[in-house]
Structure 1
Amino acid sequence: MGEGGGDALRIGTAEREDAMRVLGEHFGAGRLQIDEYEQRVDAVTTAVTRGDLRALFADLPAPYPPFMAPPMWAAPPPPPMPPPAYGAVPMYPPPYAPPPVVYSPKSKLAAGLLQILVPLGAGRFYTGHYGIAVAQLLTCGGFGIWCLIDGIILLVGRDQTDAEGRLLSD
């Protein structure tokens, strides 16, 4: 017999725990009195086969322990795909090639050192970022802190660019 098998199949701890849980649900719903609930739980602990447990649920509506549920039938497999039509060749786009990397003639080291040593936006004037440079000049470089942090970022940062979007050379 299958998983839903006969009443002569022996049960294990999992089936007993499921049966006790479901009996607790029936007790909570008011279908069982406390003494009858205790008797059925005692019977669950001594049950040996599925038939022993099935008798405890004969006069109760759903829910039932999972082993008492009817077997689930599998859906039929989908029909096979038709064979491909020969003769047509699929067209694929050419592989993506990233654009070539263009480096700036300006140095990342020079920009970072200028930014740190002359804390008035000198490094940003050097790279052509005039908006940031003027803001740093007007705020005295954020009292030097903004220029110091910006200089460290210029030195350590990976993809630092000039005003035209070219990578600063190392």
Structure 2
Amino acid sequence: MSSQPEPEELRIGTAERDESARVLGEHLSEGRLTSQEYEQRVARALQARTRAQVRPLFADLPEPHPAFLLTEATPQGTAEPVPRAPGEVVRSDRSQLAAGLLQIVLPFGVGRFYTGQTGLAVAQLLCTLLTFGVGAIWSIIDGILLLVNGGVDGQGRPLAD
């Protein structure tokens, strides 16, 4: 008998709770959740202590899910998932450098379209167009932050270096 707790019963931290809330916000912006459902799920995510308490919040939602819940990944062209070690990070096939440079050079949310975050990209595009170009500052700053801090793709996976 092992003294290690099951992976689902491991405690999560503030970063995981915040990531869960952010991903739920993406589902809200895509119209998959009502504002009331969103508020209820975020409240439960922020109170969660284990993976097992967070997983049901995403059971009826398509990708993206928080990266810490992804314990298996299915490689392209195969039907069977490849088991991942607990805590192993599944990286995106999108580049942090490319996303950041696209945001700076083409400040209309192009880098966010590239990463698959279409809701954020459309918001940046509209902000830039509706403010006659002044809103491009948002995309440029976002591009700098992507270059410095990295980011995640539309499925919540960290961008490749």
Q: Aligning the two structures, in what range does the TM-score lie when normalised by the shorter sequence?
A: 0.3 to 0.5
TM-score normalized by the length of structure 1? 0.42
Rg larger in structure: 1
Task: Indicate the structure with greater helix content.
Answer: 2
Q: TM-score, normalised by structure 2?
A: 0.45
Structure with more relative contact order (C-alpha pairs < 8 Å, separation 6 or more): 2
